[in-house]
Amino acid sequence: MTMDAAAHLAVRGVSKRFGATTVLADIDLAMPKGELLTLLGPSGCGKTTLLRLVAGLAEPDTGTIILGGRDITRTPPYRRNVGVVFQSYALFPHLDVAGNVAFGLKLRKRPKAEIDATVGRVLALVHLDHLASRPIRALSGGQQQRVALARALAVEPSVILFDEALSALDRKLREAMQGELRQLLTEIGATAIFVTHDQEEALTMSDRIAVMHRGRIDQLADPRTLYEKPATAFALSFVGQSVRLAGRVTESVGGVSRIETPAGPVLAPKTFSPGYDVIVATRPEHVRLGPGDNTLTGTVTGVVFQGARSTVEIAAGGLKLSAELSGRETPPQPGAAITFGWPLAETLIYPAEGVA
């Protein structure tokens, strides 16, 4: 792993069990300095545990964690220089805004003048400089979120960890915060890990996304690759919408397999042995009315007009599928029998076992 050698943060072969439950199984992860990475997955996939291991709030059973060239696997959290923004923000209720931000600096015994300057600078960064002497309970949720961020940034941590940090905000505020946070972190060149179950947040915030499932990383890729070439059926279902058909491989010739599905035969660009149970899929935006490399017939059950595009709900062979039309195309009427298709190159195929 050449990348690992240059990595700012490296997690190697890390496992963690709680009693009989394996929470993390042999995790490898390497991040260059300045990268924004998201651990994405449903609750219980191990993403928060991995974050806690990096923060030092828990110890792995096996493996090592290296930060800035230093093995920190058994280092207590207070000697790691890691910033954490917690889901509940965990702001100290007995201190005011400035007191919270200065907390880590005081522990590092910085001179008073330097602390004041840093607190002012960081609070300005999150646009809260006018609230420095407010008590915590007088702040809104969004403001508290910013204080938590400022407190983590103030100590100039080697890596900042966000544990579902935006999930407590309402949708509008969350979306505004996502853009702002990404810009801010990029500006100061911070290395950050986000933990979230919100795929939109992951796509917006990250340079790379690690999709986690049952204690493993299913796929670690940039957002575009993740969306276009999901490595597993789980990654496919967890990120973005998809049209999915379960079926069985009947033959496989020249790198193309033929699959029998309840909706009819479909081709996919990958070799599988005949008799194999698979999932065949594509993204709704690749589905067109009329025949394609893969062609199916079905009945329109509904049309939802969404401005720039329309979603057509189709029943085919007892399955419900959806296709996307651009807003300029005239959608068919509900109840109409239609033919629809998509290109072979945009057909995804996965083994059926282990699909959630």
Partner 1 sequence: MRILGLALAWGLAVFACVFLLAPLVVIAAASFSPTAVFDLPTTGASLRWYQRIGTLEGFWPALALSLQVALLSTVVSLVIGTAAAIAIVRGKLPGAEAFAAALVSPLMLPGLVLGIALLQYFRGLGFSNPWGSLALAHLVITLPYVARTMLAGLTRFDFTLIEASLTLGCTYPQSITRVMMPALAPSFLVAGLFSFLASFDNYPVSIFLTDVRTKTLPIKMLQYIEEAPDPTLAALSALILLGTIVLLILADRAVGLSRMAGTAE
Partner 2 sequence: MIAAARLLPDRARRTALLLSAPGLLVLVGLFILPLSLLLGVSVQGEGGFSLAAYQKLFGTPHYRHVIWNSLWLAAVVTLLCFLIGYPASFAIARARGGWRSLMLACLFLPLSASVIVKAFAWTILLRSSGIINQTLLFIGIIDTPVRMIFTETALVIGAVNIFLPFMVLPVFSVVAQLDGRLGEAAATLGANPLETFLKVTLPVTMPGIIAGVALVFALAVSAYVVPTLLIGERFPTLATTIAKSYLLTREEAFGAACGVALLAIAIAVVVISARLTREERA
Interacting residue ranges for partner 1, rule: CB under 8 A: 55-57, 76-78, 80, 82-84, 86, 88, 90-95, 103-104, 107-108, 151, 155
Taking the least distance from each CB to partner 1, the nearer of 56 and 341 is 56
Binding partner of residue 19 among partner 1, partner 2, none, CB cut-off 5 to 8 Å per kind:
partner 2
Shortest distance in whole angstroms from residue 201 CB to partner 1: 21
Number of Cβ atoms within 10 Å of the Cβ of 34: 14
Binding partner of residue 17 among partner 1, partner 2, none, CB cut-off 5 to 8 Å per kind:
partner 2
Shortest distance in whole angstroms from residue 60 CB to partner 2: 9
Binding partner of residue 130 among partner 1, partner 2, none, CB cut-off 5 to 8 Å per kind:
none
The residue range among 55-63, 143-151, 222-230, 276-284 that interacts with partner 2, by the rule CB under 8 A, is 55-63
Taking the least distance from each CB to partner 1, the nearer of 86 and 227 is 86
The residue range among 16-24, 76-84, 98-106, 107-115 that interacts with partner 2, by the rule CB under 8 A, is 16-24
Taking the least distance from each CB to partner 2, the nearer of 76 and 354 is 76
The residue range among 59-67, 77-85, 250-258, 345-353 that interacts with partner 2, by the rule CB under 8 A, is 59-67
Shortest distance in whole angstroms from residue 148 CB to partner 1: 8
If binding is defined by CB under 8 A, does position 17 make contact with partner 2?
yes
Shortest distance in whole angstroms from residue 19 CB to partner 2: 7
Q: Which one of 25, 26, 28, 62 is in contact with partner 2 (CB under 8 A)?
A: 62
Shortest distance in whole angstroms from residue 97 CB to partner 2: 28
Applying CB under 8 A, the residues found at the interface with partner 2 are 16-17, 19, 59, 61-62
